[in-house]
Chain A
Amino acid sequence: MTMNSQNGFGRRQLLTGSVGATVSLLAGGTLLSGCAASSTKSVTTWYFPFGTNVESVYAKFKDEFEKEHPNIKINLQLQPWSNRYPKMLTALGANKGPDVMFMTPDALIQFASAGVLAPLDGLIPDSAWKGFPKSILDSASYEGKRWYYPIDQEVPVWLYNKALIKRIGLDPASPPKTWSDLRTVCGAAKKSGGDITGWGYNASSVTVNDTFYPFLYQAGGRVLSDDLKLTTINSAEGVAALTFIVELFNNGWSPKSYLQPNDNALADPFFQGNQVVSIQFKQNGIANARQVKGLDWGLTPVLRDKEAWGFGATRSWAISAGAEDRDAAAAWVNFLARPENVVTHCEAFGISPANTTVAANTFKSDPVLASLSDRIPNTFGEQEIAKGRQLMPLLTPEIQLAILGQKTPTQALESAAAAIDALLV
């Protein structure tokens, strides 16, 4: 009996049917997609959740801009902070990235040297570059050209709990300033018992910028040698910094929960009311503190041992090299760079402007936030090498090993330094 089909499916029908199904599937799929109609010029912008009302603030910017420039459409696309590097790298690598993107400086040198950014000289007028501190201008430059336009500047903030300080017997009006002050606070907190800890060190943070590096800088050390070719974290200052950190854990002055990643800032022991002095936050630490009911908090000055330092990133707009129309993109960036718009952005999200002149006009009604710009001279930014971010996974585990007592601070830093030097070659 042959199996030719008289009725039902035969093999040929099956074959054509299935191929046909595949093709129509693929074709029909395109009908389902939401395609954006293209108008005169469009500038795709990637921005991030700076704060709770980010979409409305930027929607207003977009409307104003489009009124002034009727032939340019701004396509705003909000991206999550989480996993933004895989996303940006993939998109830029395939030349499908946005035209304008909000950037943190860690990626600047990488992106600039890889040629995915458009140099801003010529696109942004010289007048717009006036009023920035030299350090910020330098961080925006690479190989003689400027690659991004700084908008806001993170500033280091340590908070302290006035009620707790009083409870452990110290003066709430006088915040701790130095490492020895902190030792005093921690000792008193430990003695008063209960669940209170004096301070803390965020040992699991993926970035060491605002965890280990401030300690290093405060001890007088630096991450890299002057010629940026070798690392100096294993210097005597580095060992002193790590020793202090290990002390925090050994004496029970820092909660052990910091050895695990915490994705939610408000779950931090300080905001839960269990910690006297907070770890280093950015300015949004203040916004967070204001949200917590019943928290009587104050600001410490920039902490110091030998020097006073804290970390703060300069955040900026950049134009991608593959932008559809660089002039349209530049028009948009220039609009966002206008002092009044920078003020709107910064006041909406509680961050200090990078430009000193603009900063003088910001936070007129909020003296606490306004005073933060004074800290900029004691704020260090990203390390100025392309591989800055790649150093960090080599450092964090070693620090954890030192905290756990499996290596001495010297050993841990020597291992890390060896790996870093190998990487920098």
Chain B
Amino acid sequence: MSPNMSIRTTRRVRGTTVARVSGTYVLLAGLSLVAVAPLVFMAVASFESGAAAQNLSAKWWPTTPTLRNYTDLFEHTRMIRWFINSTIVAVVGTFLALLTSSTAGYVFARMNFPLRSVLFWSFVAALMIPTQVMLIPQYFLLARLDWLDTYQALILPGVTSAFGIFLIRQYLQSIPREFEESARVDGANEGQIYLWIMLPLMGPALATLATIQFINYWNEFLYPLVVTNSDNMRTLPVGLATLPTPSGGLPEVLAGTTIALIPVLILVPWLQRYLTGGLVMGGLKG
């Protein structure tokens, strides 16, 4: 490419680039506003008092602000315990889910064995059966094991995520095999390959999976409702549902729900770092 041509190209590109970039920002800002608005309304309503609190309308700032709903929540309910339970379940469960999904996803993407396809799609098929149908058999199983009202009942069924396995498998299928192959040539065994090559490669997918798995655990309602009976084993959504409605219940529930958002809002940006950091393909070419 001649130097002259490159300068002209750059100038033209720069002009359209400015327009394109500012257009991008405007578009994203608008969409972000639409995305965030309903939740802002919900949070605003949680700071409302009186009649305005009972009516979830679209406001960007409370008309009669109060902290009462939040203080009520902490003084009169076992909110902290519910929060702790949700945290334990979500953190442990997510960690275990990452473990099972990464190993299983790796297997399905890279290894060959009989019935591989059948097994994989049977995992995915389990996703297609609604919880309402599985609920009762799962409950009966837990009752038989005497695991009702326990942490393991809350954690275990979500630990193997067909979604996670699916995600890791598809993700790995987009990644060439050269990394592992060259490592094998260099004499690494499978465990080392898994730990030092595959896991880092899966970084973005794992971060995504962790985000989603955590949120799923955090927001699950029907299943924890059915398998826990006592108040001190409740997770946040179920605990909030025991607040009396109709009178006075809604604002506290909204306050609880807003508080429930906080851990996720902290977790997601933190996990996002791995999303862009992940893949260093440059090292491949050598």
Contact = CB atoms under 8 A, between A and B. Distances in A.
A and B bind: yes
Interface of A: 1, 3, 5, 8-11, 13-14, 18, 25-26, 29-30, 32-34, 36, 44, 46, 49-52, 54, 75, 77-83, 86-87, 90-91, 93-96, 98, 263-267, 271-273, 284, 287-288, 291-293
Contacts of B189: 3, 5, 8-10
Given A10-B189, A83-B225, A86-B226, A265 B150 contact: no
A96 B148 contact: yes
Contact of A52 (B96, B187, B247): B247
B232 interface: yes
Given A14-B191, A293-B50, 14 more contacts: A1-B187, A5-B189, A11-B190, A32-B150, A33-B147, A44-B229, A49-B244, A80-B241, A87-B225, A91-B226, A264-B246, A266-B246, A288-B247, A291-B248
A291 B245 CA distance: 13
B222 A86 contact: yes
A51 B242 CA distance: 10
B244 A90 contact: no
A31 to B, nearest CB: 9
Tell which of A13, A52, A291 has the most Cβ of chain B within 10 Å: A52
B250 interface: yes
Given A1-B187, A14-B190, A86-B222, A34 B51 contact: no
Contact of B51 (A8, A50, A86, A293): A293
Contacts of B192: 8-9
Nearest to B230: A77
How big is the B interface, by class? 35 or more
A77 B246 contact: no
A266 B155 CA distance: 36
Q: Which of A10, A49, A50, A284 has the most CB of B within 10 A?
A: A49
B272 interface: no
Contacts of B103: 18
Interface in B129-165: 132, 135-136, 139-140, 143, 147-152, 155-156
B139 A90 contact: yes
Interface of B: 50-51, 54-56, 88, 96, 103, 132, 135-136, 139-140, 143, 147-152, 155-156, 187-192, 221-222, 225-226, 229-233, 238, 241-250
Contacts of A49: 242-245, 249
Contact of A288 (B190, B243, B246): B246
B244 A52 contact: yes
B225 A292 contact: no
B152 A30 contact: yes
A271 B152 CA distance: 44
Contacts of A36: 230
Given A3-B190, A9-B192, A80-B225, A52 B248 contact: yes
A96 B143 contact: yes
B54 A271 contact: yes
A94 B143 contact: yes
A9 B103 CA distance: 14
Given A265-B246, A266-B247, A9 B226 contact: no
B193 to A, nearest CB: 10
Q: Which of A18, A78, A264 has the most CB of B within 10 A?
A: A264
Nearest to B103: A18
A326 to B, nearest CB: 20
A96 B146 CA distance: 10
A320 to B, nearest CB: 13
A5 B232 CA distance: 47
Nearest to B243: A49
- Which of A78, A273, A287, A292 gathers the greatest number of chain B CB atoms within 10 Å? A78
Given A8-B192, A272-B55, A78 B231 contact: yes
Contact of B250 (A11, A75, A264): A264
A90 B228 CA distance: 12
